[in-house]
A = this chain, B = another copy of it.
């Protein structure tokens, strides 16, 4: 499978895949006679793993850790759990922040009387 096909199967782009390779998240695949990257099911599975983790908001550093943990199935999954739990707490924090922010924005927009900028509540709130 060439890089474009792999990209389509994983919802990425060729650029992103090459970027992952450059940064060591994906290993260098074998090449065809014409020097094209040639991917198989192993690389597909690995990239799918990476994409799922990224979609769940894990950083590339966390993905790297998760990948190396997944590579040793006999190990305790304590480390995996701790990465995921930490990330969950981080997401909870962000959710809280965003909810507060939303409330403020909502009030601001609701209070706007659609008059002149001089009396605009939005500008007033921002001006303090």
A115 to B52, CA, bound (A): 22
The answer to whether A112 and B128 have CB atoms under 8 Å apart is no
Q: How many residues of A are in contact with the other chain, CB < 8 A? A: 51
Instruction: Name which of A73, A114, A117 has the most chain B CB atoms within 10 A of its CB.
Output: A117
Q: Secondary structure of the A side of the interface?
A: helix
Give 9 CB contacts A-B under 8 Å. A55-B101, A66-B126, A69-B117, A70-B117, A70-B126, A77-B115, A81-B114, A84-B112, A88-B105
* A residues adjacent to B (C-beta < 8 A): 45, 48-49, 52-53, 55-57, 66, 69-70, 72-78, 80-81, 84-85, 87-88, 91-92, 94-95, 98-99, 101-102, 104-106, 108-109, 112, 114-120, 122-123, 125-128
